[in-house]
Amino acid sequence: MGILKQSSSAICIALAITLAAGTVRAQDYPARPIRIISGFGPGSAGDMLARIVSQKLGPTLGQQLIIEHKPGGGSTVAADQIVRGPKDGYTLFMGTVANVINAVMQPNLAFDFSKDFAPIAYASSSPNILVVHPSTGVTNVKELIALLKAKPEQIFYGSSGVGTSPHLSGELFNMMAGTKMVHVPFRSSGDVMNALVGGHIDLAFDNITLAWPQVKAGTMRALAVTSAQPSATAPEVPPVAATLSGFEATSWHGLFAPAGTPRPVVDALAGEVKRIFEQPEVQKSLNEVGAVPSPMTPAEFTEFISSERRKWQAVVQAAGVEVQ
């Protein structure tokens, strides 16, 4: 017999269906702990979101949700492992925009992210923040664009690596503004912040949680956030889109299952995760670290991923970005 709570009508109804002939019946799911695999290490945004999901979803399902970290290759190591594993609903994946970018930049991966994964639920997004060294003299995006056009290929921006969200945020800016900043990759966002504070680079599009304390300390100046709307972390900072209409570049995370996982399981989990991220206390926790909860249905999430792939494909091609 299943151990799902009767209050969870979505799961009770969806999991009353037999998953596949000769295999486990849906009403018996979950009969053992469920693993959530994160492609990044402990303390990362994906880890934080996986913990929120596990803490809230575990009691509903009556089973423990175990978080495992498989860092490497910008999350490709974890994704490859999951694709090769069982498709029974007991191994889930905390995916991110990095997986879409990897698919664009590395077409010869051993798996196809858009085909080999079933989106369950979009969890949340986090904007990057455009920050500059005070010596640039600019105070807003319009002034920055004017400076960049006056000094093509003389202004340097840093990121935590080629193909990362901060890197491609800058390339999207170049493409939309008609500017030519020079990208300088570092090993981590912490290294980027140190370089910017030290005046070794001019600007960065980086993690808002990491950069905001520096802004408040006066070591760098915030010009804009990369989300379409202002961030709750820095509500006084306008979006880049206020100057460059249509600009949006967020770091998002969502829950996935390997393609082939029984549809009733995917749909039922989607309903529960959506409910979790609609809870006020969860939304408050996310807002405190600069994340915006944005629940979507599996169909909406699938379409969102397709639109993200089209956008980043255009940016990568325009910038001539290559894997190093």
Query: Burial level of 209, CB count in 10 A (0-12/13-18/19+)?
Result: middle
| Angle (deg, nearest 10), helices 76-84 and 97-105 | 90
pLDDT at 319 over 50: yes
Residue matched to tokens 């969200």: 165
Amino acid 90: pLDDT: 95
C-alpha 157/C-alpha 203 separation (Å) is: 5
Q: Which of 45, 72, 88 is nearest to 210 (CA)?
A: 45
Mean pLDDT of the chain: 87
C-alpha 42/C-alpha 65 separation (Å) is: 16
C-alpha 106/C-alpha 5 separation (Å) is: 43
Tell me the pLDDT tens digit for each residue of 107-127. 889 999 999 999 999 988 889
For residues 265 and 6, which has the higher predicted lDDT (pLDDT)?
265
C-alpha 269/C-alpha 118 separation (Å) is: 12
DSSP-assigned letters across all residues of 159-226: ESSTTSHHHHHHHHHHHHHT---EEEE-SSHHHHHHHHHTTSSSEEEEEHHHHHHHHHHTSSEEEEES
Amino acid 324: pLDDT: 58
C-alpha 222/C-alpha 151 separation (Å) is: 21
Amino acid 209: pLDDT: 82
Tell me the pLDDT tens digit for each residue of 20-74. 433 434 567 899 999 999 988 887 778 888 888 888 889 988 999 999 998 888 7
Question: Do the Cβ atoms of 133 and 196 come closer than 8 Å?
Answer: yes
Confidence of residue 16 (pLDDT cuts 50, 70, 90): very low
Amino acid 198: pLDDT: 97
Amino acid 27: pLDDT: 62
Using the 8-state DSSP alphabet, how is residue 40 labeled? Answer: S
Of the listed ranges 2-16, 44-58, 172-186, 289-303, the one predicted with least confidence: 2-16
pLDDT at 2 over 90: no
Number of Cβ within 10 Å of residue 313's Cβ equals 15
For residue 72 the two structure tokens come to 């490497």
For residues 286 and 133, which has the higher predicted lDDT (pLDDT)?
133
Question: Do the Cβ atoms of 63 and 33 come closer than 8 Å?
Answer: yes
For 169-181, what is the mean pLDDT? 97
pLDDT at 145 over 70: yes
Tell me the pLDDT tens digit for each residue of 216-231. 999 999 999 999 999 9
**Domains of the chain (ranges plus CATH)?**
9-126+251-319 (3.40.190.150), 127-242 (3.40.190.10)
For β-strands 203-207 and 117-132, DSSP reports them as: antiparallel
The predicted model scores a pTM of: 0.82
Q: Which of 34, 58, 104 is nearest to 272 (CA)?
A: 58
Amino acid 4: pLDDT: 42
Q: Which of 317, 271, 321, 320 is nearest to 295 (CA)?
A: 271
- State percent of the chain over pLDDT 90: 62
